[in-house]
A = this chain, B = another copy of it.
């Protein structure tokens, strides 16, 4: 995967934001653990909570609300261009998972997010997603200024 450049740290303290969620029984599989595909919605839920926390709720981004980052010219989606997950130890039903995340590698058109999933301080998985910005018709477009600014933090 050529574009992906972030290396997720296994240390919770290295991440500026953490979202806690609880695994669902519907997400278990016949191995008695959380199915590996269920982790992607966990990452997404944490992204959505992060955007809310920094004042840019994702539904406003999608609606093109100028006040929250549409640059005044319509809605935006942060399409997922790449994802990778490294499963270290299984997650089980009813566990409370801390999904920590960090934005990095911001360019004019893409950004990356590194994730650490842990339970009670013990790492369970790390992940990276790479995102591009698309307009309401699904065409690639420049990132809103507030996203580009996250890169200089």
Could you list which residues of chain A lie within 8 angstroms of chain B, going by C-beta atoms?
1, 4, 22, 24-33, 35-38, 40-41, 44-45, 48, 57-59, 62, 77, 79-87, 90, 92-94, 134, 138
Can you name the residue of chain B whose Cβ is closest to the Cβ of A80?
Answer: B36
Q: How far is the CA of A58 from the CA of B28 in the complex (A)?
A: 14
Measured between beta carbons, the chain B residues less than 8 angstroms from A79 are 31, 87
Contact flag A48-B25 (CB < 8 Å), given A59-B93, A81-B87, A84-B82: yes
Tell whether, in the assembled complex, residue B24 and residue A44 are in contact, meaning their CB atoms are under 8 Å apart.
yes
Tell whether, in the assembled complex, residue A37 and residue B41 are in contact, meaning their CB atoms are under 8 Å apart.
yes
Contact flag A94-B57 (CB < 8 Å), given A25-B44, A40-B36, A41-B37: yes
Measured between beta carbons, the chain B residues less than 8 angstroms from A57 are 94
Can you name the residue of chain B whose Cβ is closest to the Cβ of A40?
Answer: B37
Measured between beta carbons, the chain B residues less than 8 angstroms from A80 are 36, 87
Q: A118 to chain B: closest CB distance in Å?
A: 18
Tell whether, in the assembled complex, residue B83 and residue A36 are in contact, meaning their CB atoms are under 8 Å apart.
yes
Q: How far is the CA of A94 from the CA of B51 in the complex (A)?
A: 12
Tell whether, in the assembled complex, residue A40 and residue B59 are in contact, meaning their CB atoms are under 8 Å apart.
no
Measured between beta carbons, the chain B residues less than 8 angstroms from A33 are 30, 138
Can you name the residue of chain B whose Cβ is closest to the Cβ of A129?
Answer: B36
Q: How far is the CA of A59 from the CA of B28 in the complex (A)?
A: 12
